[in-house]
Amino acid sequence: MTPRFRTLLGLAVLPLLMAPSSAGAQEMRGGNLGFKSGEATFQRVCQGCHMPDAKGAVGAGAYPALAGDKRLETAGYPVLVVTRGQKDMPAFGHYMSDQQIADVINYVRSHFGNHYTDAVTPAEIEQARPDQTAAAPKTVEHQ
């Protein structure tokens, strides 16, 4: 994927992330995006690239399959990828709360042929953020 295409893709995705609110970045980190579950976050954000069945796609770019993905077995892997980004995957840490990121990771890790039951917590997301001063407000952990 070329840097120009990545920039255009980012510009196309950003309004989707901001959809229900025109709030500033700090409010967005607070989880004011209107996504109430991991499934909703996947449907509104992730499936645009990874496809509704999470089997990925190849076209203007290569979007890896999340369905049956053995790399998801280690919970720290998707935590870092979603929070900080990796290769052509944008970082979503500044757009979602710790709870939203944990919820979508837990959803993907327990659906689409994935059966990983050790849930990721918002505290783990907070620790993975590249800049602790920019971390989302603390959320209540679900044990």
Kindly report, residue by residue over 66-114, the tens digit of the pLDDT: 999 999 999 999 999 999 999 889 999 888 999 999 999 999 999 999 9
CA 124 to mean position of chain CA atoms: 14
| d(C-alpha 134, C-alpha 16), whole Å | 21
User: Can you tell me whether residue 15 is helix, strand or coil?
Assistant: helix
What would the pLDDT profile of 4-59 be if each residue is shown by its tens digit? 455 445 545 554 544 443 333 334 444 445 667 999 999 999 999 999 999 999 88
List the CATH code of the domain at 3-134: 1.10.760.10
Q: Which pairing describes strands 62-63 and 57-58: parallel, antiparallel, or unpaired?
A: antiparallel
Residue 52 CB burial class (10 angstroms; 0-12, 13-18, ≥19): exposed
pLDDT of residue 36: 78
What letter does residue 62 receive in the DSSP assignment? E
Domain boundaries, the chain: 3-134
CA-nearest of 118, 108, 91 to 37 is 108
| d(C-alpha 135, C-alpha 130), whole Å | 8
pTM of the model: 0.70
Check if the beta carbon of residue 85 is closer than 8 Å to that of residue 91: yes
pLDDT of residue 33: 58
Rg over CA atoms, the chain:
14
| d(C-alpha 28, C-alpha 54), whole Å | 25
Phi, psi of 57 (to 5 degrees): -160, 160
- pLDDT, greater one: 138 or 81: 81
Beta-carbon-side half-sphere exposure of residue 120 (alpha carbons within 13 Å): 32
**Which amino acid is it at 91?**
A
pLDDT of residue 103: 96
